Chains A and B, each alone.
Chain A
Amino acid sequence: MLELIAPFFRQLYERTGLNFIVFYEPYEFGRFLNGAATSVRLIFWSLLLSLGIGVLGAWTQGARSQALRVGVNAYIQAFRNTPPMIQLLFFYFGLGAFTPSVDMGGYSQPLISSFTWAIISLGIFGGAFNIEIFRAGLEAVPEATQEAAESLGFSRWQTFLYVTLPLAFRISLPALTNNLVSLAKTTSLAYVITVPEMTYVLNQVWSDNINVPEMMLLLFMFYVLVVTLLAAGLHALEHRLALPGYGQ
């Protein structure tokens, strides 16, 4: 693929001085692709973890144990009201200092890499918001509808599975979309714990090649593209799941 676009960008550089070196030099191209792949993987896993935590946390709302509910509330408040960047630093440097290292024969590598810590930290951060969103969605399902299901003989679990959950999910979707898109953008903060995602990689490229404006533009476009795709996908899901006849 590089062979196709390389000539164009090389000419662009020669004629206009706009240096998109990542598109005509194999080494830089490799770095660019790695950065993109790392970013996408980081976004995917953090979003997934945050969704999982969101579902679990919302489920505990109905738990009998008071300690569990207070614990979840405390977790939500702690992670919503503290800076995500400091959370990343705390997880990687603060907690990372306690994790054991693996002897790789000559050097030792920490058991949990910076990439993994980033996923953990960002997932926990996003999860705090998702719990609130799912809770609000569950609460918004009219009790009367759940009663109707109960009156038809559905057990509590069946009512939850077939009636409450599908409706709560549809109700939560707009707020969930906002939050997931926001989390995808926040993943760029993984830069501070040297995760080689897009921001970090392009930073290295422009340090080496002094083509700051061009690489900035590329960085911008990358995130706009990712955010647009993610938002479009979730909006399409919203459309498909919309309750016909119930307005916007």
Chain B
Amino acid sequence: MVSPFRIDKSPIEARLSSLLSWRHGVCLVLGCLASMAVAWGQSRVNPAVPSALATLVIWLPFILKGFALNLVISFLAMALATLLGIGLGLIQISLHAVVRAPARFITHLFRNSPWLVILFVVMLIIPVEIRVPTGGKIPIPDWIKATLAFTLPVMGNISEIVRGAVLSIPTGQWESAEGLAFTRSQTLRWIILPQCVRRIIPPWMNWYALLTLSTPIASIFSIHEAVANAQGAMEAAGARPEFLFPFYLFLLCLFFAYIYPIAVWTRNLERKYPVGS
């Protein structure tokens, strides 16, 4: 039944970002400065002991070094998750039900589990080192295990994105390809997947942001990323309660400074390539 009551069929996510503007960044920076002022005001008690702000500045390089590890984990995990996720997504749309079912199961398993639980499983189940058949031992550092743990849920989500993107290509494309004697895999390779790339990029970037925002979870397992380093710095500098507020606020601002531009970029890409175009 054709009806003029049209609900905009473009995905809600594509319209979700509100007005992103530099004003928000300014707000957060002002908030950060304001809290720094508060922290500084608080710490005037004993001039011999460095203030919380000064402590933060001293330990800044150390915390940033940890942040670099967050970024490394995010890049590696994203790269691996993209490869695996695309593969898994293609298997999900395979014509052979035998492989489809396990692929769907894996996708749903990793999409529906909390990231923390996956991390626990990977960290505790994968051994500290593996024995190579030739006789040596390869140590597996903790952060590599964490990277793998982060890969899994993102892989599940990318698999789902790929599946959705392929299914959203109109059947007319498949039919005309068939009429031109393309095989199924040729159709996928030359006709379908190239059209999917545009639709996949914004959700893909969104998942990168979500992945990066989840990397602090690794600090629970004593991996020396930004949060763990910040906590270690607070301990080393005397574990004073007035450190807590500025240090954690700094961490928030640090991640914001990295993720917010990515979010704006994603939003602009969404605008440029609306689904259905």
Contacts and interface: CB of A to CB of B under 8 A. Distances in A.
Direct touching of A and B (C-beta under 8 Å): yes
Interface of A: 70, 73-74, 76-78, 80-87, 89-90, 93-95, 97-98, 132-133, 135-137, 139-140, 142, 144-145, 171-172, 174-175, 181, 185-186, 188-189, 191-192, 199, 203, 212-213, 216, 219-220, 223-224, 227-228, 245-246
A220 B117 contact: yes
Interface in B1-49: 1, 3-8, 12-13, 15-20, 23-24, 27-28, 31
A220 B113 contact: yes
Nearest to B120: A216
B213 interface: yes
B244 interface: yes
A175 B13 contact: yes
Across chains A and B, which 7 residue pairs bring their CB atoms closest together, nearest first? A90-B248, A74-B27, A185-B114, A188-B114, A77-B24, A94-B245, A175-B12
Interface in B76-113: 109, 112-113
Contacts of B249: 90, 94
Given A74-B23, A85-B216, A192-B220, A136 B15 contact: yes
Nearest to A131: B18
Q: Kindly name the residue among A81, A98, A186 whose own CB sees the greatest number of chain B CB atoms within 10 A.
A: A81
Contact of B19 (A73, A133, A189): A73
Contacts of B214: 83, 85
Nearest to B231: A89
Interface of B: 1, 3-8, 12-13, 15-20, 23-24, 27-28, 31, 109, 112-117, 120-121, 124-125, 209, 213-217, 219-220, 227, 241-242, 244-245, 248-249, 251-252, 255-256, 259-260, 263
Given A73-B18, A81-B259, A216-B121, A223 B12 contact: no
A83 B12 contact: no
A167 to B, nearest CB: 8
B5 A246 contact: yes
A189 B213 CA distance: 13
Interface of A is mostly: helix
B109 to A, nearest CB: 8
A172 B219 CA distance: 35
Contacts of A86: 216, 227, 248, 251-252, 255
A226 to B, nearest CB: 10
A83 B256 CA distance: 8
Given A82-B252, A97-B245, A246-B5, A136 B115 contact: no
Given A85-B227, A246-B7, A199 B18 contact: no
A152 B72 CA distance: 60
Contacts, number: 149
Given A73-B24, A74-B24, A86-B216, A136 B255 contact: no
B1 A245 contact: yes
A189 B116 contact: yes
A132 B16 contact: yes
B158 to A, nearest CB: 16
Contacts of B27: 70, 74, 78
A83 B260 contact: no
Given A82-B255, A132-B17, A228-B112, A70 B23 contact: yes
Contacts of B256: 78, 81-82
13 contacts: A73-B23, A73-B24, A74-B24, A76-B18, A81-B209, A83-B214, A83-B216, A86-B255, A89-B248, A90-B248, A136-B16, A199-B116, A223-B113
A54 B263 CA distance: 20
A89 B35 CA distance: 16
B248 A188 contact: no
A150 to B, nearest CB: 16
A224 B255 CA distance: 30
Contacts of B124: 212, 216
A191 B252 CA distance: 19
